[in-house]
Amino acid sequence: MPPPAGVRPAVNLAAQSLTIPTQAGPTPAAPTPADPTPADPAMAGQIDPAAPVLMFDSGVGGLTVLDALRQALPECPVIYAADLAGLPYGEKSEAQIAARVSGLLGRMTERFKPRLVCIACNTASTIALASVREVLEVPIVGTVPAIKPAAAMTRSGTIGLLGTAATIRQTYVDRLEAEFASDKILLRYGAGELVSAAEAKLRGHKVDMAVVERAVDGLRRQPGGEAMDTVVLACTHFPLLTEELAQVLGPDVRFIDGAAGIARRIASLTQGQGFARAQPDVALFTGDADTGDLAPALGQRGLASAARF
């Protein structure tokens, strides 16, 4: 079956013909901007069991969120969408990110009729989440820096936060700090280089430890940095580099990210819904970058085929 208009076959990861999910079916009512609530139980039975969760990121960092979702809802159909043509988001303006994310998710939602959209990207979530919720009539789950649990974890009272430059400057992060860590020291550092390092690692390339060391130095050289004992990984790419970061930071520093919390939220919003895969889960990529070396990482996460969008 040929793919729908707007989708170009890229690489088949499971030696089988590529098919793109196009399940139709009613969508739940639009969530409120502040906190989407679970669908009405009466509506749960009307959701097409084959309707996927659409998981969106600027690149492959969102696969760390997919890992958590596989643990929570192993039977849930998934379309993983990576905007490689727009990578890196952290170097773009807020207006560029909001317009790009809203446009792409609007087209993808119309095409694939997901039961829920997960923006598995801190930068896109802190900038575009509100605008996306205004235009899409499906539940939207975003990704925010895990400042609240980090404040509960820290023993020294000093927390590091690694994110993209676009994420760490957002007033949303200021509000999280004021609400949950006002009595702590929060050190922020824009470590955009780690995005490329994580993308390279997932493609099977060796991580440049100098990049990791620069990110750590960016935190530790700030006043109070030596007392830091907890680091918030405020980019979904960064958990892919936990091993390398731990080598530099040492055994006394703990890491936290939002993946498990996101998976729990998706499970809550889809409670009572049926799940049934009509066909293998698929990865979508924008742009023309070669994604062949991502095949092992995608296959390990149940994404049996890939296509261009």
Q: Are residues 235 and 178 in the same domain?
A: yes
Neighbours of 10 (CB within 10 A): 20
Q: pLDDT band at residue 40, thresholds of 50, 70 and 90?
A: low
Domain membership of residue 191 (yes or no) is yes
Nearest to 50 by CA among 4, 109, 114, 117: 114
Q: Are residues 136 and 269 in the same domain?
A: yes
Domain membership of residue 170 (yes or no) is yes
Q: Are residues 172 and 301 in the same domain?
A: no
Q: Are residues 249 and 273 in the same domain?
A: no
Residue 275 has pLDDT above 70, yes or no: yes
Q: Are residues 151 and 253 in the same domain?
A: yes
d(CA 146, CA 124): 15
| pLDDT given for residue 180 in this prediction | 98
Q: Are residues 273 and 227 in the same domain?
A: no
Q: Are residues 249 and 198 in the same domain?
A: yes
Q: pLDDT band at residue 43, thresholds of 50, 70 and 90?
A: low
Domain edge (last residue) among 235, 257, 279: 257
Q: pLDDT band at residue 90, thresholds of 50, 70 and 90?
A: confident
Are the CB atoms for 106 and 81 separated by under 8 Å? no
Domain edge (last residue) among 225, 242, 257: 257
In the chain, the N- to C-terminal Cα span, in Å, equals 16
| CATH number, position 233 | 3.40.50.1860
Q: Are residues 56 and 103 in the same domain?
A: yes
Q: What six digits make up the tokens of 287?
A: 């742009």
The string over 113-131, giving b where at least 16 C-beta atoms fall within 10 Å of a residue's C-beta and e elsewhere, is bbbbbbbbbbbbbbbbbeb
Return the axis-axis angle of helices 122-135 and 94-112, rounded to nearest 10°. Answer: 60
Q: What six digits make up the tokens of 220?
A: 């530790």
Place of tokens 């952290």: 90
Q: Which residue range forms the structural domain that includes residue 291?
A: 50-143+260-308
User: Of how many residues is the chain composed?
Assistant: 309
Rounded mean pLDDT, 201-228 = 97
- Please tell me which residue in 82, 84, 120, 121 is annotated as part of the active site: 121
Residue 165 has pLDDT above 80, yes or no: yes
Domain membership of residue 276 (yes or no) is yes
- Please tell me which residue in 235, 240, 298, 303 is annotated as part of the active site: 235
- Estimate to the nearest angstrom the gap between the alpha carbon of 111 and the chain centroid: 20
pTM: 0.85
Domain membership of residue 29 (yes or no) is no
Q: Is 76 a catalytic residue?
A: no
Q: Are residues 166 and 107 in the same domain?
A: no
Name residue 119's beta-bridge partners. Answer: 56
Q: pLDDT band at residue 289, thresholds of 50, 70 and 90?
A: confident
Domain membership of residue 1 (yes or no) is no
Q: Are residues 238 and 158 in the same domain?
A: yes
The number of domains in the chain is 2
Query: How would DSSP label each residue in the chain?
Result: -PPPTT-EEEEESSSS-----------PPPPPSS-PPPPPHHHHTTS-TTPPEEEEESSSTTHHHHHHHHHH-TT--EEEEE-GGG--GGGS-HHHHHHHHHHHHHHHHHHH--SEEEE--HHHHHHHHHHHHHH-SS-EE-----HHHHHHH-SSSEEEEEE-HHHHT-HHHHHHHHHH-TTSEEEEEE-THHHHHHHHHHTTPPP-HHHHHHHHHHHHTSTTGGG--EEEE-STTGGGGHHHHHHHH-TT-EEE-SHHHHHHHHHHHTTT-----SS-EEEEE-SS---GGGHHHHHHTTEEEEEE-
Q: What are phi and psi of 17, to 5 degrees?
A: -65, 140
Q: Are residues 248 and 154 in the same domain?
A: yes
Domain membership of residue 272 (yes or no) is yes
Domain membership of residue 283 (yes or no) is yes
pLDDT: is 130 or 242 the higher one? 242
In single-letter form, the type of residue at position 202 comes to L
d(CA 124, CA 121): 5
| pLDDT given for residue 228 in this prediction | 98
Q: Are residues 201 and 250 in the same domain?
A: yes
Domain edge (last residue) among 257, 281, 297: 257
Q: Is 235 a catalytic residue?
A: yes
Domain membership of residue 233 (yes or no) is yes
